């Protein structure tokens, strides 16, 4: 039930985001005097609508988006009433059209920034100095956090009653103890601890020296056994190794909490990081297509492959099911930021394509004026239709591919 609730909530959050995207177009267009005839949430048959002034507002039967009809978006629109010609969008200055067309993405960015600010003052934002790579983890001091058990397999999962207890817990080690030696081998970092444990035999006793509140101590434990690849070859052959049943407590916190004012700077800094990550993720999309096909045809799903709104909603459901609300809201932030950036790409039929054409027309007119040549006028959108159809076809195929992968082989972050 919690899973279905999470899926529904996340899908509803996406629908609200898209509705606000279209509301951005609506409000800015009306503010500049353009005529907006329709604003609907959803597609397909109309379930309910009402008219206020010259605009019809309503709800349609397929809740997969929304639309806002602005009169005369291009000079080639043939459904503009002669009386509405002065208010056709294409007749307005380029800066006004730019604001209207970018207002949808601005709505997504605003949602992401507001949500980030709330997260910053409530739960904290990810710490950029938190060790995230294997090399960084190994350089950390060997300050331990006890595990509940030793998982015999080479996988990350929750403990079960069948798993052996943590040797460290049985040896009365505590969270926050810093390991300094194992069987006489000095340990200066977490990497040293891993090396020292690999030199031991599973099932054998080991003397562990530690610091607790700056006071030295020692205990003898019987090491457990798990499966791991070689330390110098994470992709190598997995084999049995000795296990102490501990994890690392990093020297820096995973998240940084802010006050209301400090959260503004923290949000801005994190947004910059998110912008770089979004750019890198978009560059990797073409090379991830084969991995999506592999996932559909029975192979393992790469967690770094793109997801659709279906996949995002499923992960949102998992987050709610496991009481991971922070993940739920961070996913909401990331998705809104990605949609905002993607929608500004200079490709038709995206908003960024219309913006690019508007500024191309303006630049071309300026150049022709300086050359004392007649203004070539507006771009003929009809001549761009083959390119537009190609973008729609490629985008549609990619969307279908991601949705299929998310249905038949979804990314799962939690063990259900």
Report d(CA 124, CA 122) in Å as an integer: 6
Q: Could you give the 3-state DSSP secondary structure of residue 173? A: coil
* Nearest Cα residue to 323 out of 414, 390, 405: 414
Residue 192 is encoded by which pair of tokens?
A: 């040293």
Q: Could you give the 3-state DSSP secondary structure of residue 69? A: strand
**8 Å CB contact between 241 and 228:** yes
The strand pairing partners of 145, in sequence order, are 247
The strand pairing partners of 36, in sequence order, are 70
Pure H helices in 123-215? 134-139, 167-170, 190-198
Largest CA distance in the chain: 91
Strands (E), 147-301: 178-182, 185-186, 205-212, 215-222, 224-228, 239-243, 246-248, 255-256
Residue 343 is encoded by which pair of tokens?
A: 């929608």
Q: Could you give the 3-state DSSP secondary structure of residue 215? A: strand
Catalytic position from the list 22, 209, 318, 361: 22
**Phi-psi group of 86: left, alpha or beta (phi > 0 → left; psi -120 to 50 → alpha; rest → beta):** alpha
Residue 289 is encoded by which pair of tokens?
A: 């297509």
Q: At what angle do helices 2-32 and 309-321 cross, to 10 degrees?
A: 130
β pairing state of 239-243 and 246-248? unpaired
235 an active-site residue?
no
Given 3-state DSSP classes, what are the helix, strand and coil percentages for the chain, each rounded to the nearest 5?
A: 50, 20, 30
β pairing state of 178-182 and 55-70? unpaired
Burial class (CB in 10 A: 0-12, 13-18, 19+), 133: exposed
**Preceding peptide of 349 cis, ω within 30°:** yes
Backbone angles phi, psi at 358, to 5 degrees: -60, -45
Q: Could you give the 3-state DSSP secondary structure of residue 250? A: coil
Give the residue numbers annotated as catalytic, written as ranges. 22
């Amino acid at each position: 039930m919690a899973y279905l609730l999470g899926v529904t909530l996340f899908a509803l959050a996406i629908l609200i985001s898209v509705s606000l995207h279209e509301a951005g177009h609506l409000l800015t267009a009306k503010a500049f005097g353009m005529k907006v005839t329709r604003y609907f949430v959803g597609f397909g048959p109309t379930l309910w609508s009402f008219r206020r002034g010259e605009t019809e507002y309503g709800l349609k039967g397929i809740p997969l988006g929304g639309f806002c009809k602005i009169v005369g978006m291009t000079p080639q629109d043939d459904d503009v009433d002669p009386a509405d010609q002065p208010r056709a969008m294409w007749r307005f200055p380029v800066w006004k059209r730019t604001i209207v067309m970018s207002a949808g993405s601005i709505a997504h960015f605003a949602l992401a920034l507001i949500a980030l600010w709330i997260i910053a003052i409530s739960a904290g934002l990810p710490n950029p100095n938190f060790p995230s790579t294997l090399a960084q983890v190994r350089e950390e001091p060997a300050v331990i956090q006890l595990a509940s058990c030793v998982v015999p397999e080479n996988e990350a999962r929750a403990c079960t009653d069948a798993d052996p207890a943590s040797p460290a817990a049985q040896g009365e080690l505590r969270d926050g103890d810093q390991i300094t030696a194992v069987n006489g081998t000095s340990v200066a970092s977490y990497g040293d601890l891993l090396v020292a444990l690999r030199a031991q035999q599973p099932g054998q006793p080991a003397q562990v020296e530690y610091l607790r509140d700056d006071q030295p101590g020692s205990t003898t434990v019987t090491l457990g056994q798990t499966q791991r690849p070689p330390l110098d070859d994470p992709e190598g052959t997995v084999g049995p190794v000795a296990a102490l049943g501990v994890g690392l407590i990093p020297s820096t916190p995973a998240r940084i909490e802010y006050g209301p004012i400090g959260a503004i700077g923290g949000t801005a800094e994190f947004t910059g990081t998110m912008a770089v990550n979004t750019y890198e993720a978009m560059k990797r999309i073409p090379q991830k297509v084969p991995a999506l096909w592999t996932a559909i045809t029975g192979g393992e799903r790469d967690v770094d492959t793109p997801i659709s709104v279906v996949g995002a909603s499923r992960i949102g459901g998992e987050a709610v099911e496991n009481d991971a609300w922070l993940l739920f809201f961070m996913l909401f932030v990331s998705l809104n930021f990605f949609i905002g950036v993607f929608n500004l790409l200079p490709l038709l039929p995206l908003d960024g394509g219309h913006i690019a054409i508007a500024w191309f027309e303006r630049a071309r007119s300026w150049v022709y004026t300086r050359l004392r040549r007649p203004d070539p006028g507006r771009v003929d959108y009809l001549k761009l239709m083959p390119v537009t159809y190609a973008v729609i076809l490629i985008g549609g195929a990619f969307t279908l591919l991601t949705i299929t992968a998310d249905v038949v082989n979804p990314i799962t972050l939690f063990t259900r």
